[in-house]
Amino acid sequence: MSKQNWTALIDDLVAGRWTNPLTGARVKVPYDSIVIEDSLEGREAELVASLKLGHSLALVADQATYDALGVRIARALREIGSVEAIVLDRPHADMAEVRNLTERLRGFDSVVAVGSGTVNDLCKYVTGLDGRRYCVFATAASMNGYTSSTASLTLDSGLKVSLPSHTPAGFFVDLKVSAAAPPYLAASGFADCLARSVAQTDWWMSHRLLGTAYFHEPYTIQAADEVELNKRAANLPKGDIEAMGYLYRVLTLCGLGISFTGISHHGSMGEHQISHYIDCFAGARHPGSLHGQQVGIASLSMARLQQHMLASDQPPSVHATPIDAPGMASRFGDEVASQCLAELKKKAFDRDGAIAFNRKLDDTWPDLRRELAGFAIPVGEMKRLLSAAGGATTATELAVPVDLYREAIVHCREMRNRFSFLDIAADAGTLEAFAQGEL
């Protein structure tokens, strides 16, 4: 058992005691309670009662998370009020499940979610629609969305998007429970953390070259813990409590970063777009891999692309953005293609825009290369860390069909208005050749 205070700094952010070193201002994030302990057994009722969620509670889980922790929490919460367990049958984070859960949650004062990505996103979004408070007990360190104010959901059209929502009133982690979860879940969460390197590179590049928004704070609050987590990557598959604690700290702080930014760009750029493409358009080709596992292999691809381009003394030269509307309709279907086309046009260059961008690249390239070098983890080190954590490092290893993976690299940039090195490579005419080398 560890002896760490796992919520150091996090407590200050929740209480409004943390001073932003960049501005000198006090900062408070919108949470009542964040508790991360080696074990929470016996404290479940106390933690929920402190949030004053009402007397009629719905506990929402899937079968795996109910068995892992939900049954224990449901038993404990009967001390403080009426509790009904709603166990979802293999749920998907989509609008059909949102409508189903909305109906099932009618009449309850509030919600206690037990689970990670899908369960948390569904409960977050449904309660956000009517302003009911909810809390979440983690069961696996598989993603960084526990403390974010956005929910990742698939629309009826099939397009996966991040929708604005609200934050949980309480976020509670029993490290022993997560340490006992299947190791691939922690590897998925670790990959979400490792993506920081390539996401920050994309985001700063977009800021410097296009003037898009950028915030340093999400990286400031998690930098020290990222170092400690990476030192312990190889201990995650062993169910080591200390390694799990640092993983949860980085996941939590990354989610809290949205309180500064209002957007998820600090941890989600080109690499997440590749994973989203697989989830949206793989269909029967999808191997059942987790979003975070896909982010891991995509982060390595983005690192190779970024580091190859930045190794040159000469900047790339872009042309007007090629927009293949018929091809998008063929790949995505008409409705999704229309939505994606609107997003793509927001960042597309016409002839004059490409000329202006090339001029900016020429002027900025030496400084930009030096600045981005400070954000990057060398691709070889990223691969070593991901493998040590138990994560797949290639599409082949993850059983994602190679043709699908290459398709995702080439076309995922069409899905969102987030400008990344994928866009530069595509507009420079080099992205397809790069994708052919990815396995």
Number of neighbouring beta carbons within 10 Å of residue 161: 17
- Give the type of residue at 308: H
Q: Distance from first CA to last CA of the chain, Å, rounded?
A: 40
What pTM does this model have?
0.93
Predicted confidence (pLDDT) per residue in 52-98, tens digit: 999 899 999 999 999 999 999 999 999 898 999 999 999 999 999 99
Q: Is the pLDDT of residue 177 over 70?
A: yes
Structure token pair of residue 156: 């009826």
pLDDT confidence tier of residue 1, bands split at 50, 70 and 90? very low
pLDDT at residue 2 in the model: 56
Instruction: State the pLDDT at residue 114.
Output: 97
Per-domain residue ranges of the chain: 10-181, 263-436
Give the whole-angstrom CA distance, residue 402 versus residue 408: 10
Query: Taking each helix axis from N to C terminus, what angle separates 351-373 and 196-210, rounded to the nearest 10 degrees?
Result: 130
Q: What is the mean pLDDT of residues 277-303?
A: 96
Contact yes or no for 194/299 (Cβ under 8 A): yes
DSSP state of 261: H
Q: Percent of the chain having pLDDT more than 70?
A: 99
Mean pLDDT throughout 367-377?
96
- Measure the CA dihedral 109/98/119/382, to 10°: -140
* Both structure tokens of 257: 């970063």
Q: Which fold has domain 263-436?
A: Dehydroquinate synthase-like, alpha domain (1.20.1090)
Domains 10-181 and 263-436 share a fold: no
pLDDT of residue 258: 86
Residue 427 clears pLDDT 90, i.e. is over it:
yes
- pLDDT above 70 for 331: yes
pLDDT at 301 over 80: yes
Report whether 286 contacts 296 (CB < 8 A): no
Distances (CA, A) of 72 to 15, 64, 114, 139, 146: 29, 13, 11, 12, 20
pLDDT of residue 205: 98
3-state secondary structure at position 241: helix
pLDDT at 3: 62
What are the tens digits of pLDDT across the range 235-279? 999 999 999 999 999 999 998 998 888 888 999 999 999 999 999
Class of 10-181 per CATH? alpha beta
For residue 145, what pLDDT is reported? 83
